[in-house]
Structure 1
Amino acid sequence: MEIGIIGSGNIGSTLAGYLIKLGHQVTIANSRGPESLTDVAENTGAKPVTAEEAARAKDLVIIAIPAKAIRKLPVDILSASKAIVLDAGNYYPSRDGQIAEIEDGLTDSEWVAKVIGHPVIKAFNNIVAGSLASKARPGGGTDRIALSVAGDNKEQTKDIMKLIEEIGFDAIDGGTLSESWKQQPGEPAYCQDLEKDALEAALQEADPSTHRENLAKADEMARPYF
């Protein structure tokens, strides 16, 4: 596939390395420009480009940036894209500021889809970068951890689940995009390195009545790292 990654932090860079090893053509961009991505290119094999170029990837565009940077994306290009657009981010108010639409009930990925004018699939947001980099395992093993994928287009959801399996993790369908809050910060399924059955149980355990409180607690715990 032709894949563009917008975001060169730990998640974006790690995914670039995996996808190159799988034989895909990968470009990667950040807000500082291609000239700042020399080390990432050397470590992963991905081609440094501008965000506009990454957004033009024909098959898959991965957005792995803080919510506060979403409005700076090349929306005109993304809104017209025929590719799958994947949101790998998480909303943390202490880092991103209060986003009214999310505070009023949209999931962060529903908000992303609204801003860029294109449907998105939610994935790779409920695993810490260290685990993503070190815990991929061959298929058929008993020690694989699982990632959940949420989205309204089930064919695209299946495509991303297949990609996750190829990278080295089990994948489960996490429901619609409106249900993606179940894999967001503070919820039982968030960054726990669970195997498949345990992750499915964690998603079921999520309680909408405590979501706002759980996010606030997770945000407070994460605040020193921002």
Structure 2
Amino acid sequence: MKITVIGAGAIGGNLAAKLSTAGHDVQVADARGPEAVRAEVLESEARAADLADAVQGRDVIVLSIPFGVAGQLADLFASVPDETVVIDTANYYPGMLSEPIEAVDNGQVESVYTAELLGRPVVKAWNAALAETQRTKGVPAGTPGRLAIPVAGDSEEARKVAMSLVDDTGFDPYDAGTLTDSWRQQPNSPAYCTELTLDELPTALAAADRAKDAAIRDSLPERFAALPANPTVDDVVEMNRAAHR
């Protein structure tokens, strides 16, 4: 597939490298320009591209940008064909990674809000796994204990495309339903960054509680402060799991 990843940070760069290694034609674009794409991302044969050019003629566009800024790309996406699948990886951390957003604080689902800003449908994927989990723990399909990643979207066809790409990055994809259901994989639900298998993930998604999960999300600074210095990915995963015991 022809794929563009917008955003060259930890998750965007990781996805670009993994999808390129899996055989896809991958471009990486960043609002700061092609020079902002790290050299290690391009070692996979992904190519840095100008943002305006990178959305044309692509099968899939992955948004790996800060939550709440998708509206800045609305004009750019106005010329993107309807059949192009757009995947959103962002998460909302009010007061930490973004300013508080009233609509989301009042109950609007994160990626529904993003779709409105962007002016087109999106699929939610790759948001519920830590960047380091995605970088280091992907394994071939069929490997015992393979971790799973939830995928939500209103279009069944678009959801299937995203699920196929999740598989290509080394994780079992799980069909998590429509975009309005994606609140179950938002921070800090039982399914969020807790490294679950395909057998375990459905139970975690079903156990989500919007008020409780938001309170756990907002307690992140205090919980991080209780971790050891230089915490490992396993330390962070255990912290997230412990919040729901």
Q: What TM-score, normalized to structure 1? A: 0.91
Alignment-derived partner of residue 194 in structure 2: 192
Unaligned runs of 5+ in 2: 226-245
1 CA distance for matches of 2:43 and 2:220? Answer: 31
Task: Tell me which amino acid in the other structure corresponds to 1:91.
Answer: Y
Taking structure 1 as reference, are residues 41 and 166 closer, same or farther at Cα in structure 2, changes over 3 Å only? Answer: closer
Alignment-derived partner of residue 111 in structure 2: 109
Task: Tell me which amino acid in the other structure corresponds to 1:76.
Answer: D
Alignment of 1:123-134 (within 5 A): 123-134=125-136
2 CA distance for matches of 1:38 and 1:211? Answer: 34
Decide which structure has greater helix share.
Answer: 1
> Which moved further from structure 2: 203-212 or 132-141?
203-212
1 CA distance for matches of 2:222 and 2:4? Answer: 32
Alignment-derived partner of residue 14 in structure 1: 14
Query: 1:47 Cα shift?
Result: 1.2
Query: 1:76 Cα shift?
Result: 2.0
8 A Cα contact 1:186 1:218, kept in partner: no
Alignment of 1:88-107 (within 5 A): 88-94=89-95, 95-107=97-109
TM-superposition CA deviations, 1:160-200 (whole Å, max 9, x none)? 11221222211111121111111111110000111111111
Query: 1:30 Cα shift?
Result: 1.3
Task: Tell me which amino acid in the other structure corresponds to 1:93.
Answer: P
Q: Secondary structure at the match of 2:69?
A: helix
Alignment of 1:126-145 (within 5 A): 126-145=128-147
Task: Tell me which amino acid in the other structure corresponds to 1:199.
Answer: L
8 A Cα contact 2:148 2:174, kept in partner: yes
Query: 1:81 Cα shift?
Result: 2.0
Say what the alpha-carbon RMSD is for the aligned residues: 1.9
1 CA distance for matches of 2:30 and 2:117? Answer: 18
Which 4+ stretches in 1 moved above 6 angstroms?
A: none
Alignment of 1:58-77 (within 5 A): 58-73=58-73, 75-77=74-76
Alignment-derived partner of residue 214 in structure 1: 216
Taking structure 1 as reference, are residues 12 and 195 closer, same or farther at Cα in structure 2, changes over 3 Å only? Answer: same
Aligned residues: 222
1:183 aligned onto 2:182: no
8 A Cα contact 1:126 1:183, kept in partner: yes
8 A Cα contact 2:3 2:58, kept in partner: yes
8 A Cα contact 1:40 1:46, kept in partner: no
